[in-house]
Structure 1
């Protein structure tokens, strides 16, 4: 029943996009990806949001694009990670160390609420970008963020979904569909890596809340 509800929400969002002349495209081909990202105007993927070619080919990750005719105008990545018995703090420290070679202590601390709550099978969303001449449509961006969560849920079992945003963008949490807000989530060692900050927030959504929402609200009104 829940899976049927997920697809119903996806169809409703697709309908709104189609009414604007927009379509959705999923990329799992590493060779195809650079041209699609360049289309959006994304010059580089932040190291903490990179997904490997193997992740894409193996089905552990994908990129979602919103297209106007043949041009990509918005993008985001999704990646499935199973922590197993590892806690989120140790996982995140290891991830950061692998992305910033030679800086094993680049993460000074991970907030205790994250360590206590984000466990098991995770889905991370990153790399979101909107083409400069297509910015300003908050409903469209919200629909896009909701759609990628729905799509990821059809591909992977999960315990938590999460993403990282700048504190100044915290009001987007509702538009993106996350109910957990973890302020000052990660403390970085000086110098703080480019594009990161100690006041960034992690937004989270657990599987129980996700299931309740998709099963209880009108189609497309996430």
Structure 2
């Protein structure tokens, strides 16, 4: 894993990006503003969570001193608790803590059976407007792969997961974000709070698939690096 982390970091550095872990979570709101992200969800907001360096990672890739990509990973160690019960409780607290009613339906049985144990949630993944072009797809993939590796080295999770809108999934978001499995309709929002919607799919990466997925990202980064050097020589 450390070798893959080094390869991806070197590939991004060659393209002019510096990847760092945010030491002070108080810096996150300013990074959100500077990168042009229109919102920060309560699941990743340091103002809504008791984040520490032990249970959360905020990563940022900077280009020319400005944030280009960023995202948050948070540890969710469920033990034996079903993920559906955890989501009902945590999402209600995140989005409608003042209301007594349920916010989501129970998760599909297939999801409850599959996703369990020590989880890592990826949230608020974002690329600045300047870095949202098709040319940045492989760069973003490298950055997210670094996030997967950082989470794996720190927490050794059973699963890493996030929620992706169907329209983004149709554009290849699962592969771009290095997730090997996806589940439609993991649960239903009873009244979706913005910006959430019932078009979201659950995308997930089990421990057994992490290295194969990251290796593909490393090979793609190396191939592009060789291609760029060939262009320069010609």
- In the superposition, the TM-score normalised over structure 1's length comes to 0.88
Q: Displacement of 1:44 after TM fit?
A: 2.7
Match of 2:127 in 1: 130
Residues 135, 11 of structure 1: alpha-carbon distance in 2 compared, 3 angstrom cutoff: same
Match of 1:104 in 2: 101
Report which stretch shifted further, 199-208 or 117-126: 199-208
Q: Which has the larger radius of gyration?
A: 2
Match of 2:65 in 1: 70
Structure 2: distance between partners of 1:218 and 1:30: 31
Moved over 4 A (4+): 51-55, 211-214
Structure 2: distance between partners of 1:50 and 1:209: 28
Aligned residues: 214
Report which stretch shifted further, 165-174 or 53-62: 53-62
Q: Displacement of 1:61 after TM fit?
A: 0.1
1:59 to 54, 57, 65: 54
Structure 1: distance between partners of 2:165 and 2:212: 27
- 1:66-105: CA deviation from partner (whole Å, max 9, x where unpaired): 1013111111000011101210000000011101121531
1:9 aligns with 2:9: no
Structure 2: distance between partners of 1:202 and 1:218: 21
Contact 2:145 2:217 in 1 (8 A): no
1:194 aligns with 2:189: no
Residues 220, 55 of structure 1: alpha-carbon distance in 2 compared, 3 angstrom cutoff: farther
Residue segments in structure 1 that go unaligned for 5+ positions in a row: 1-5
Residue segments in structure 2 that go unaligned for 5+ positions in a row: 221-234
Structure 1: distance between partners of 2:45 and 2:154: 19
Residues 52, 62 of structure 1: alpha-carbon distance in 2 compared, 3 angstrom cutoff: farther
- In the superposition, the TM-score normalised over structure 2's length comes to 0.84
- 1:8-29: CA deviation from partner (whole Å, max 9, x where unpaired): 1111111111111111011141
Structure 1: distance between partners of 2:70 and 2:212: 27
Structure 2: distance between partners of 1:174 and 1:156: 22
Match of 1:90 in 2: 85
Q: What secondary structure does 1:93 align onto?
A: helix
Match of 1:149 in 2: 148
Q: What secondary structure does 2:110 align onto?
A: helix
Structure 2: distance between partners of 1:129 and 1:71: 13
Contact 1:61 1:79 in 2 (8 A): yes
Structure 2: distance between partners of 1:58 and 1:145: 19
Q: RMSD of the TM alignment (CA)?
A: 2.0
1:176 aligns with 2:177: yes
Match of 1:3 in 2: none
Structure 1: distance between partners of 2:219 and 2:177: 12
